[in-house]
Amino acid sequence: MSTTIAGRTAAGAQHAAPRRRARARPAAVLTAIAAGALAVAAMWWANTPAVTGLDGWLTNAGRLCGLLAAYAITVLLALMARIPALERGAGSDVLSRWHSMGGRYVVGLSVAHMLLIIWGYALTDRTDVVSETVTLNLSYPDVLKATVALLLLVGIGIISARAVRPRLRYETWFHLHFYTYLATWLAFGHQLATGAEFVDSPRARLAWYALYIGVAAVLVWYRFLTPVRQALRHRLRVARVVREAPGVVSIHLAGRRLDLLGAEPGQFFRWRFLTRDLWWSPNPYSLSAAPRPGELRITVKDLGDQSRSLSRLRPGTRVLAEGPYGALTPARRRGRRVLLVAGGIGITPLRALFEAIPAASGELTLLYRARTTDDLVFRGELEAISLARGAALHYCVGPRGTVGDPFTPQTLARLVPDLHDHDVYVCGPEEMTRSVSAALQAARVPRRRVHRETFAF
């Protein structure tokens, strides 16, 4: 590390812990999802007294795949519904990973459902699969719409593949995913019209309606009505735009009764700036300062497209904010001592935590990695916070070829005594966060004490 600043040893500033809010534990969420899947399988079992012959095995395997796919898509939608307890408890990046993994299950189960049903029905009717496909789509209620839904889901799966996703702009990827709603609606009808579990069971139909209507209500409330309600209540607008470093600006936002948002240091919002070029696309940016009465602040690096346009925002521009989201908050900590590790523009949420996370003098350390001294965003603010709070601040500046790997287990242990007793918050480029996580693991820092979150899509 090229520069070290140690805060004074007098008692540092203390910040009151944020009001506790409901947080869904990841293990509890996964348990609930698994219980729902078992209930769906039990519903299939109860409606399947016996399975005989190859056609029966294929058809019933197709039925089970279809039921699980129909259940799983409601889970996917609920995970992305911006439910506050989920966002605070699991974190947006964990929910996104679950959503991505679940999406592969939905597509796989849906394709398997289609192929198995066609094959099984073809054997039963003693015909070929092409003729059976035509018959199913043209003769069975709502099956043609379900086929369109499957094609939409496969298309969404393709654009979400790792080989394709980096080639898309975030805004394009974001809006194409809205076709998931259309696919869900198109597929719903054929489940009740042709599903053996529902045809003769009013109770099963009622439960399925309750599941889908419940998820739809949560989506409408949190993803559409809540942002509008917040906009009317808080009337956010751009107060000023401040240049922090080359290609980096801070946007100060003013509004009314912002304390009711319940925002915490380390969280982010999805911001929609109401200008002609920006209104249609919400993008996630972290708070770069602890929330203050009547003011929030975000800091944005010019990465092209929308982020470049934000530097030209005019004071008074209206803003819609969805959130707060994210679990990279003081509530994650398990002990007294805290280490923050930031790289590049990843300093933004950690700067807010450095200012506000409860810690006594000597219990808080920030390691900040940047390529050049010009890239050290908030340098003056960080040094002032360090001195005021009795916190340690270490910079590592320079190209990787010159400074080497600044986050080896030995370096971390030297800079941070009793490293294994610290809660560690990490934010930065993906390569850096992987390197830090590996070094912390090698230094025997318990995994439950390492906290990270990313907006990668």
Please give the single-letter amino acid code of residue 358: P
Partners of 340 in the β-ladder: 366, 425
pLDDT of residue 13: 40
Please give the single-letter amino acid code of residue 125: D
* 4: pLDDT strictly greater than 80: no
List the structure tokens of 182. Answer: 């259309």
Peptide bond into 324 cis (omega under 30): yes
pLDDT of residue 405: 76
pLDDT of residue 199: 84
Give start and end residues of each alpha helix (H) in 270-394.
306-310, 347-356, 379-389
Rounded to whole angstroms, how far apart are CA atoms 348 and 361?
22
What is the gyration radius of the CA atoms in the chain, in angstroms?
Answer: 26
**Banded model confidence at residue 453, pLDDT cuts 50, 70, 90:** confident
Average pLDDT of 104-122? 95
Helix axes 143-159, 92-125, angle to 10 degrees: 140
Mean pLDDT score of the chain, rounded to an integer?
88
pLDDT of residue 264: 92
Q: Counting beta carbons within 10 angstroms of the beta carbon of residue 436, is it exposed (0 to 12), middle (13 to 18) or buried (19 or more)? A: buried
Report the percent of the chain where pLDDT is more than 90.
Answer: 58
Tens of pLDDT, residues 383-419: 999 999 999 999 988 877 676 677 888 888 888 988 9
Which of 80-84, 248-252, 289-293, 452-456 is predicted with the least confidence, judged by mean pLDDT?
452-456
**Banded model confidence at residue 375, pLDDT cuts 50, 70, 90:** confident
Tens of pLDDT, residues 218-260: 999 999 999 899 999 999 999 999 999 888 999 999 999 999 9
**Banded model confidence at residue 305, pLDDT cuts 50, 70, 90:** low
* 457: pLDDT strictly greater than 60: no
Tens of pLDDT, residues 13-40: 444 444 567 778 889 999 999 999 999 9
pLDDT of residue 266: 92
pLDDT of residue 263: 92
- DSSP per residue, 58-74: HHHHHHHHHHHHHHHHH
Contacts of 435 (CB under 8 A, 6+ apart): 405, 407
As a three-state string, the secondary structure of 285-306 is: EEECCCCECCEEEEEEECCCCH
Which of 77-86, 172-181, 213-222 is predicted with the least confidence, judged by mean pLDDT?
172-181
pTM over 0.85: no
pLDDT of residue 311: 84
